[in-house]
Structure 1
Amino acid sequence: MLLVTGATGTVGREVIKLLAAAGQKVTAVTRTPDAARLSEGVTVHEGDPSRPQTLAPVLAGADAILLSPRAVGTAVGDLLGLAVEHGVRRVVVLSAVTVEYGGGYRRFAEAFRAVEDTARASGLDWTFLRCADFAANSLAWAPQIRATGTVRGASAAATTSPIHQRDIGAVAVRALLEPGHAGQAYALTGPQALTQRDRARIIGQAIGATVTFEETPPELVRQSMLAQGLPQEVADRMLGYNAACLEQPGPTTNTVARLLGRPALTFADWAAENAAAFRN
């Protein structure tokens, strides 16, 4: 059995969907099972990963864990220690490309590095998925694109290679199921370096309209993001990383293609799939 924390998150949902489609036995951990709406056949366990004892009933039958640091918080060591006690053999950690390449506020990279260090010391076989910024982060633009056709954001020329969550999910599934990934740290990015203006233009192409990007002071952008309900940590991470990528573009790797044996999905692929979110 495979145990997924952060089951209702952007990546967790993709991992569960892919595992269920492959006929794997999956247990999804969530604090709100009634609202989870996960794939048919998936076992949903009501638990709080930041309180590891609430996962004890399902750890005993687990072979591997997908660990979402955001879901687990400061309890990573306790959770992994409990996993070892219950016979779990493998952990796949969702980490960040900034651990390897830098960029953004140092505290975020240091937090991910601390999670990785804890996994290394746990005694479990580990694999780290160091992810670039998610293409799905652009959903934060949806309300203003629907209303005005313009993105008001900071660091318009910031250049990164955003990754589709399905590619992260597909790599995670391989790392959960295949022993050859133990001890590996993978830097996962999309296949194209794009500015934020490029992303706005591509979204426009997906919805058949012109979408422009208007440079806006970062503090105003932060306030807008918080007003939409985004956590302050997420707003700070996105704004800090984009500011850093004005001077030094984020990395572009071929890791996804190498591991999956197919091209990585593009931002245009993601925009086409999510076009409805940006239309009136």
Structure 2
Amino acid sequence: MTTLVTGATGNTGRHVVAELLRRGQGVRALTRDPVAAARLLPAGAEMVAGTHTEPERLDDALRGVSRLHITVTAGLAEVGPELVRRAVGAGVERITVLWGGWVGPVEQAVAESGVEWTRLEPQEFMANTLTWADSVRNEGVVREPYDFPSALVNEADIAAVAAAALLDDGHAGRAYNLTGPEALTPRERIAVLSKAIERKVDFVPIAHEQAVERLTATGVSRADAEYVVGWYARPTEDSTTAVDTVQRVTGRTPRTFAQWVDDHAEHFRSSR
């Protein structure tokens, strides 16, 4: 049984690849650069060139695949339904979809595909903390417009739920809200980070508009930047409340933010 993983080198995709391999499954990793991906992903995955935003070129990648993991990314909304159609036509029997923050065209196409599907609805990724790395290393500060709690989830836990849904029975037609074991404000996360890197890190409030401009400067569209910053400005109950989905689905306690920091502390330490 082979699973095709789209976004295989992304924040969650690489963990999905690793978890499936850990469980002894065949994995086909879809990537724009198979050579580079082979250096990033665990040994044992089959690298195939391509991108899920060009489904018309994926017939070979889908051949012989019975499971499919889709990560909804920018540019997929228009072509994602075609990807789902081609996957089902190629014989895919089970699909997991990591949503883009709402039930859009791709998520709807998966739900209407006629095959077993599970939708993964994680709240904020712990990996988002990496956006603080430069300012922490260089200045010892974190600049954010809001200080509301967030029920951050570890990407490896998202992957563990994805693997369970792909390989185990009982998950068809489910939409899983995924969080870590606790909700933390930026200030509380900074305290955890400061302790781990043994350096005082300050929280510096900035205006909403400054946060939007910071994102657009990286190439994000104005609309997307407003959506992201607005998510922090108006957190929902789902985003601020820890739930036990990871524990129920995987049988394992979800990883804490402190564990994530221990695994990534080198990104925040100054080289000076």
Same fold (TM over 0.5): yes
CA distance in 1, matches of 2:16, 2:124: 18
Q: Match for residue 62 of structure 2?
A: 59
Deviation digits for residues 90-141 of structure 1 (CA, Å, limit 9, x no counterpart): 1101026xxxxxxxxxxx53xx343322111111211011110101001001
Query: Which of 166, 175, 179 is the equivalent residue of 1:176?
Result: 166
Structure 1 pair 248–69 and aligned structure 2 pair: CA distance change class (3 A): closer
Within 2, Cα distance between the matches of 1:234 and 1:7? 23
Q: How many residues align?
A: 265
Aligned match of 2:234: 244
The amino acid that maps onto 1:6 is: G
Q: Structure 1's 252 and 213: CA in aligned 2 closer, same or farther, altered over 3 A?
A: same
Distance 1:94 1:144 in 2: 30
Q: How far did residue 25 of structure 1 move?
A: 0.7
Determine if the alignment matches structure 1 residue 166 to structure 2 residue 167: no
Partner in structure 1 of residue 21 of structure 2: 20
TM-score by length of 1: 0.88
Q: Is the 8 A contact 1:164 1:265 kept in 2?
A: yes
Whichever residue aligns with residue 62 of structure 2, its letter is L
Q: How does 1:1-280 map to 2 (within 5 A)?
A: 1-36=2-37, 37-70=40-73, 72-95=76-99, 109=102, 112-156=103-147, 158-227=148-217, 229=218, 231-232=220-221, 235-245=225-235, 250-280=240-270
> In the aligned structure 2, how far is the partner of 1:197 from the partner of 1:69?
30
Q: Distance in 2 between the 1:124 and 1:236 partners?
A: 35
The aligned amino acid for 1:212 is D
SS state at 2:79 partner? helix
Change (3 A) 1:41 1:210: same
Cα distance in 2 for residues equivalent to 1:276 and 1:210: 15
CA distance in 2, matches of 1:230, 1:279: 27
After TM superposition, the score normalised by the length of structure 2 is: 0.91
Structure 1 residue 249 displacement after superposition? 6.0
Q: Which moved more, 1:29-38 or 1:238-247?
A: 238-247
Whether the 8 Å CA contact 1:159–1:242 is kept in 2: the answer is: no
Q: 1:212 to 1:189 in 2, by over 3 A?
A: same
Tell me, yes or no, if the aligned pair for 1:2 and 1:27 is still in contact at 8 Å.
yes
In structure 2, the gaps of 5 or more residues are none
**SS of residue matched to 1:129:** strand
Equivalent-residue separation in structure 2 for 1:148 and 1:162 (angstroms)? 25
Distance in structure 2 (CA, Å) of the matches to 1:174 and 1:88: 17
Q: Give the counterpart letter for 1:122 in structure 2.
A: S
